[in-house]
Amino acid sequence: MFGRNEAMRRSIRLKTGGYPMHIVVLAKVVPDYEVPAGDFELTNSRAHSRYKRMMGLYDENAIESGVQLKEKYSASLTIVSYGIKADIQVLRKAVAMGGEKLSLVLGGSDDPNVIAANLKMAVEKLEDVDLILAGQQSADMDRGIVHGMLAEMLGFAFIPQVAKIEQEDGQWKVIQNTESGSSELKFGGKAVLSITSVPENVPRIPVVRSIFAAKKKPVVQLPEIEGDAMPVDELSVDIPKMESVCEFLPTEDDPAETAKILLGRLREERLI
């Protein structure tokens, strides 16, 4: 009815009958995303190095979703990241939440093309990856494009804003959040899913024995490959001036006038 690709269906069947399914979750270590605006500073156009480094919140949602899938379908779960050596310590938490191993490409680029190319290399080294999950956007650059680029590079389908994943008749069935509600989608091939935050994937606190076990899980460190940078120049990064002084609107006269002024000001600032 939907013109399903028979070859893809067969490959899934093989998968479920044969060796275990392999899920990859992408995670990125970022500076504290909850630093209050008043305390936020930049050095070299990036968040100040004094902020603690941690996994992005959506990434943790993705890991939680991955762990739930792993538990439900006896899959194996690998955490893949691109970052610096010091990130390993932070990424152990992802492993403690339920990953089997960690694969880290060592590199310091912020270019989405370069990052995606390196993640592709890491995923291809793993072989037989069935499904890739990623947080809907990293908590530093907030781009939400690296995972989509990776999907295309790997020839996988890309589905953003995924809230729920399950298997049905050897296919994946996912719920995708949209602006007006949600869509239920089904596919048989391999895919990259960007995961949004929903009550069902609130990240777990790893249990103590997993925290200790995670210290012994294998960490593969891969040297960076050269990728083509995206043809975009970053000209500047600035912290917008936050208007902290409250502007009191006149109320003596006509309240309708006050309402008009307010709406006018909000429109001026493109807020409504």
Nearer to other proteins, 18 or 234 (CB): 234
DSSP 69-117: HHHHHT-EEEEEEEE-TTHHHHHHHHHHHH-SEEEEEE-----HHHHHH
We find the least distance from the C-beta atom of residue 257 to other proteins, in angstroms, to be 9
Q: Which of 38, 43, 127, 253 binds other proteins (CB under 8 A)?
A: 38
Cβ 12 vs Cβ 188: under 8 Å: yes
Question: Which of 66, 99, 135, 189 contacts other proteins by CB under 8 A?
Answer: 189
225 sits near other proteins (criterion: CB under 8 A): no
Under the binding rule (CB under 8 A), the answer on residue 163 touching other proteins is no
The tokens for 36 are 């209050």
238 binds other proteins (CB under 8 A): yes
Token pair of 41 as six digits = 């500073």
Which of the residues 194 through 213 are near other proteins (CB under 8 A)? 194, 197, 202-209, 211-212
144 binds other proteins (CB under 8 A): yes
Least gap, CB of 71 to other proteins (angstroms): 12
Tokens read off for 202: 């609130």
**Which listed range, 19-27, 73-81, 121-129, 240-248, lies at the site for other proteins (CB under 8 A)?**
240-248
Q: Which stretch binds other proteins (CB under 8 A): 32-40, 71-79, 80-88, 124-132?
A: 32-40
* 227 scored as a contact of other proteins (CB under 8 A): no
Count other Cβ atoms within 10 Å, centred on residue 35: 15
Interaction between residue 263 and other proteins (CB under 8 A):
yes
Q: Which residue has the tokens 């990293």?
A: 138
Which one of the spans 12-20, 99-107, 124-132, 148-156 is the region binding other proteins (CB under 8 A)? 148-156
Neighbouring CB atoms inside 10 A of 188's CB total 21
Closest separation in Å from C-beta 247 to other proteins? 5
- C-beta of residue 176 within 8 angstroms of C-beta of residue 182: yes
Q: Which of 66, 83, 107, 160 binds other proteins (CB under 8 A)?
A: 160
Nearest residue (CB) to other proteins, 127 versus 184:
184
Among 21, 47, 94, 133, binds other proteins (CB under 8 A): 47
Residues contacting 180, CB < 8 A, separation 6+: none
Of positions 9, 15, 20, 35, contacts other proteins by CB under 8 A: 35
121 interacts with other proteins by CB under 8 A: no
Phi, psi of 141 (to 5 degrees): -80, -20
Q: Which is nearer to other proteins, 76 or 258 (CB)?
A: 258
The total number of residues written for the chain in this structure = 272
H or E stretch covering 210 = helix 208-214
Sign of CA dihedral 203, 209, 210, 215: positive
Q: Which of 23, 24, 29, 54 binds other proteins (CB under 8 A)?
A: 54
- Contact criterion met (CB below 8 Å) for 136 and 27: no
